Structure 1
Amino acid sequence: MANLVNLEAVSVNRGVRTVLDGISLGVQTGDRIGVLGLNGSGKTTLLSVLAGLVPPDSGRVAVSRGTTMEVVTQGGELPPGDTVREVVLARFGDGDHGWASDSAVRGILDGLGLSAIGLDSPVDRLSGGERRRVALAAVLVTPDSPTDILVLDEPTNHLDIEGVAWLAEHLLSRRSALITVTHDRWFLDAVATTTWEVVDGTVYIREGGYSDWVFARAERLRLDRAAEDRRKNLARKELAWLRRGAPARTSKPRYRIDAAEALIADVPEPRNVVELHTFARRRLGKDVLDVEDATATVPTPDGDRVLLDDVTWRIGPGDRIGLVGVNGSGKSTLLRVLVGERPLESGVRKVGSTVRIGYLSQAVAELPADLRLIEAVSEIAGTVNLGGKDLTAGQLAERFGFTNAQQWTRVGELSGGERRRLQLLRILMAEPNVLVLDEPTNDLDTDTLSALEDLLDSWPGTLLVVSHDRYLVERVTDDVVALFGDGRITGLPGGIDEYLRRRREGAAATARPAAGRPGLPGPAAPAAPTALDPGEARQLRKDLQRLEKKMESLQRKESDLHRRLADVGADFAAAAAMDAELRSVLGEREDVELEWLGVAEKLEQG
């Protein structure tokens, strides 16, 4: 493996603050490095120095002769007046359409959604997210030899879950070395073989991705007796969750579980879903948020598009739901319908009498700029009960990464990420019993994300989350639903993996590209299945709701039998009778689930 870039005793100062203090490290052929650290710790500065964009105040940066490097910064600056085609395909030259027959180039354009934006669109008219995708595509399209090093600063920003999965797969298929700053933990686990953690001007180097880093940091904090207990506990709890783990992680563990036993021996058990549901019912009552026979639209440049088409959806006490879909599918609009900010075209929205909604939108709400941070939190409430614990405004602020000194900073002087955290703090201080969160992870670093997940993990209310952060969705929600653009809300028993599979199958069924240049008509698609009669479709949706209620009832009965079996003691006759009843309940639940899948398949095909 050849050395490509070396940093030798590099230091960078910003005023009186040392951002990088005598850093020495290197990048070799084939390295895939993820860079982690708190907001403001120096991650972007490290990438800028490594890429030659910022000179160090002292030390040396050595780049091997002939090494090619491509950089995507957070700014995403593009040449004014150019079109998407001129920026992304400039390397092919004017009039060179050789890219059209290159499946790799077409894959990049489609994977980043540029085909939908339009190659002839002026970049000056694009949104910030679209401009960022154009800048990313421009460095990934390489008509000649592949780039030696890709330096990407927050490449997953403005990508949906499907786009993040595509980018991870694409980067893994390249021979280029990769250095990326990212707050997307799933993405980091998928692509990184090494992690650099920037802390107090120093860079800690660890093998592996995010899961490995969680273990390594927990071990480092355990050995460091002067470390803060809060960070240690968060790392240990998250490590325990990783060990219990989502299916995507358990199939390829990259750290030794045995070595972690001492760290996680006294970590609380996973959240007790039945207990949280019971507590939520006491606080919320039976009804929470319902829409019945609802029709709603999403505004688009080409006119309104149907979002909901005669849909009935009931969200109950203690439900924890992740909502996914491609960018522009209407996820934010659906949340606005649920919280009452956008009216339905037809149908009814119902809200339970005891419901108190806390809604975090993507826009940073107006905040009292003249107040200090702690005052802005305290004006909502002095204390809050979360997860059965009473926390003062200062304690909750500290859990969200605001030190005692930072809590006296004026709100007007906070960064965008800090204002986002403050917005969420104020919502939680109002003690809602229904949380509706639209992209809550935007601008949050990994430590703050861990703190947020720690709170949400044991939060006993109803939770509805829209997020491109797959890690957060898999950790804090129990159910995933999707918007596929068909006017329905589709339940996904298989979670995000099922969502990605359905998206791939849908693309394969509808896309029949002709050989040669994109845009030419391909073979005719197979005839669509006969649409369901509206009355039949409505009956199938009612059947789904009936079966879902039955599954909930059987699940409650199953949990009750497990509890009674645990308390039965030495009464073997009673234990045998309950065991037989439990087996009967499990069999009935399996039959109901199969029936539900059959009805759902009929609806999807229709």
Structure 2
Amino acid sequence: MAHLLGADRVSLTLGTRTLLDGVSLGVDEGARIGVVGPNGAGKSTLLRVLTGRQAPDAGRVTRAGSTRVALLDQRDDLTPGRTVLEVVHGGADEHTWASDAGVRAVHAGLLPDVELAADVSTLSGGQRRRVALAALLVRDDEVLVLDEPTNHLDVEGVAWLARHLVERGGRGGALVVVTHDRWFLDAVCTRTWEVHDGVVDPYEGGYAAYVLARAERARAAGVAEEKRQNVLRKELAWLRRGAPARTSKPKFRLDAAAALVADEPPPRDQLELARTATARLGKDVLDLEDVTLVVGGGDESDARPARTLLDGVTWRLGPGDRIGVVGVNGAGKTTLLGLLADRVAPTAGRVKRGKTVVAAELRQDVEDLDALGHLTVVEVVERERRHLVVGGKEVTAAQLVERLGFPRDRARTPVKDLSGGERRRLQLLRLLVGEPNVLLLDEPTNDLDTDTLAALEDLLDGWPGTLVVVSHDRYLLERVCDRQVALLGDGTVRDLPGGVEQYLALREAGAGDAPATGPASLTGGGARGAAGAAATSPGSAAPAAPATPAASGADVRAARKEVQRIERRLARIGELEADLHARMAAQATDHAAVLALDEELRALAAERAELEEAWLEAAEVAG
């Protein structure tokens, strides 16, 4: 694998904070690297340094030959007055780009609803993000560096982008991406960089492998942070019990994962939570009865054309229901939450609310905190409540604040000085301390880092109320919700027994473009079951394989020894690869040395592939 981009002992200090402290790393051809870490740790700064947008205080950034590097920033800096076509293709003639199948695929994936002649200043936030992405993806740069590319994308857009980047990686080049979308990290990335405390720690694999390796490192180092360990172990337990596509990535380490989570209880006791929720909420929670909702076209002040978001919908939410909502942009997901929160009135029909319902809604904007800018984080929470019960234990406001990612110094910070991610966390805290029994969350993952998301999910696991979540974060939906429903733009609320995979299959089949065929068209297995079956038996030519004779006791013992031997060698290969990457970064300007080290890396990669194949064969015998 050719070396494309590297950092050699790079350091950078902003104000009083050292974000990068002697960091050395490298990006090789074919690498797809996910960058994670706490808000404010320096992830975006690292990307700007690697792409030459920001000069380091010390050290240097190296590029191989004429390697072209493209950066997608968090902010879509599109110049008003330019059309979409000009932003994406510059002055190129239409026949030049329209004849390229790859460019047409980008148009179909990102710009199907965007008018190419439109001024970019007239586009919505999601459309602007897709235009900025398209402008990057139609080019042929060797290294793509993306900062939060999934922001403003819906579930369908995220899935398309993941597929595109994996296919692009198979043709060469490299990818470095900062994102809090954990499903995206697992679907796309083959390595993970964790940025924290001025350093960058490398991990092999996507998010699932990163969580496992991080838990192992913490255990080996004897880390004393008990509550941080608990959250990591719970997250790992979820990964271990999750979908086959997630847990199959670090196959050769599943036994280690099983040992780490052997005594970890399920993420939540659904029966106990339902019992508690029923006691607090009563039998009736929220019922939509023959509800029709039309938006736009109401009067002269509303220039939008009339659209029917819900058409005669009857939908009942019971105590303890945990429901995720997905759907196309503009289908009315946020409006549906407003309907449940009694913020929006139906055009026809009625919304029936239980007598004991106390609903709280998390909205996408954070401006509601502006009036509290002079107060500290703890003071804002204490104004709502000083003590509350979480998971059967009483905690103070200060303890809850710390649990959701505000260390003591930040807990005493005025609200006006908080970052976007911290303000989002504070919004959630204000909702939770009010002790609602119905939570309505609109894109709760916006601006939150992966650690804070794990802490939030841990908190929601023990929350015994009715939960409705609108999100494009597939990982969050699968983690905290027991059911998913879809708004496909056809005026219905459709149940998804097969989860998000079924929604994507429906969209690919054109659902929402025509009237719904009714719930009978959704089979119990759904798309998820079919996808899982395909994933577990790639390339199989027949539905059933002939039975194999049972292994003898001696064969099993030998296979187990072989598994242990292979795992020791794989661990050693991981250490050798990390050392080689560090040496390549240190000698980035010595072409001959880099080539020699690259040959060693190739040999280790080939050995790893052979060992993993042998591990699978031995593990099958060992049981």
TM-score band (shorter)? Answer: 0.7 to 0.9
1:438 and 1:465 in contact (8 A); partners too: yes
What are the within-5 Å matches in structure 2 for residues 428-577 of structure 1? 428-506=432-510
Equivalent position amino acid for 2:2 in 1: A
The one of 205, 230, 233 equivalent to 1:233 is 230
Aligned-residue CA RMSD (Å): 2.0
What are the within-5 Å matches in structure 2 for residues 253-402 of structure 1? 253-254=250-251, 256-299=253-296, 302-367=304-369, 368-402=372-406
SS in structure 1 of the partner of residue 439 of structure 2: strand
Q: Quick check: 1:149 aligned with 2:143?
A: yes
C-alpha distance in structure 2 between counterparts of 1:371 and 1:496, whole Å:
40
Alignment partner, residue 68 of structure 2: 68
Unaligned runs of 5+ in 1: 511-527, 548-606
2:153 and 2:472 in contact (8 A); partners too: yes
SS in structure 2 of the partner of residue 487 of structure 1: coil
2:240 and 2:258 in contact (8 A); partners too: no
Alignment partner, residue 167 of structure 2: 173
TM-score, normalised to structure 1, is 0.81
CA offset at residue 94 of structure 1?
A: 4.3
Q: Quick check: 1:121 aligned with 2:137?
A: no
CA offset at residue 18 of structure 1?
A: 1.0
What are the within-5 Å matches in structure 2 for residues 243-258 of structure 1? 243-254=240-251, 256-258=253-255
Unaligned runs of 5+ in 2: 298-302, 525-623
Moved more, 259-268 or 115-124: 259-268
Alignment partner, residue 216 of structure 2: 219
SS in structure 2 of the partner of residue 10 of structure 1: strand
Equivalent position amino acid for 1:446 in 2: T
SS in structure 2 of the partner of residue 281 of structure 1: helix
Cα deviation digits, residues 79-133 of structure 1 (max 9, x gap): 332110001022xx44332323433222212212x23121111112223332222
Q: Give the percent of matched residue pairs that are identical in Structure 1 and Structure 2.
A: 58
Alignment partner, residue 164 of structure 1: 158
C-alpha distance in structure 2 between counterparts of 1:187 and 1:255, whole Å:
22
Q: Quick check: 1:104 aligned with 2:108?
A: no
C-alpha distance in structure 2 between counterparts of 1:400 and 1:308, whole Å:
36
TM-score, normalised to structure 2, is 0.79
CA offset at residue 275 of structure 1?
A: 1.9
CA offset at residue 261 of structure 1?
A: 3.3
Equivalent position amino acid for 1:148 in 2: E
1:160 and 1:468 in contact (8 A); partners too: yes
SS in structure 2 of the partner of residue 117 of structure 1: coil
Alignment partner, residue 196 of structure 1: 193
Alignment partner, residue 42 of structure 2: 42
Equivalent position amino acid for 1:208 in 2: G
1:208 and 1:254 in contact (8 A); partners too: no
CA offset at residue 254 of structure 1?
A: 4.6
CA offset at residue 365 of structure 1?
A: 4.5
CA offset at residue 388 of structure 1?
A: 1.8
CA offset at residue 305 of structure 1?
A: 1.0
Higher RCO (Cα < 8 Å, 6 or more apart): 2
CA offset at residue 370 of structure 1?
A: 1.4
1:400 and 1:452 in contact (8 A); partners too: yes
CA offset at residue 180 of structure 1?
A: 0.4
C-alpha distance in structure 2 between counterparts of 1:333 and 1:492, whole Å:
20
C-alpha distance in structure 1 between counterparts of 2:130 and 2:77, whole Å:
11
Moved more, 468-477 or 125-134: 125-134
Moved more, 247-256 or 201-210: 247-256
CA offset at residue 345 of structure 1?
A: 0.4
SS in structure 2 of the partner of residue 220 of structure 1: helix
C-alpha distance in structure 2 between counterparts of 1:360 and 1:302, whole Å:
26
Q: Number of matched residues? A: 512
Cα deviation digits, residues 200-258 of structure 1 (max 9, x gap): 00100010000011011111222333442222111111001100112432454556121
Q: Quick check: 1:85 aligned with 2:85?
A: yes
1:387 and 1:460 in contact (8 A); partners too: no
C-alpha distance in structure 2 between counterparts of 1:254 and 1:86, whole Å:
46
SS in structure 2 of the partner of residue 366 of structure 1: helix
1:71 and 1:151 in contact (8 A); partners too: yes
C-alpha distance in structure 2 between counterparts of 1:317 and 1:441, whole Å:
24
C-alpha distance in structure 2 between counterparts of 1:418 and 1:383, whole Å:
21
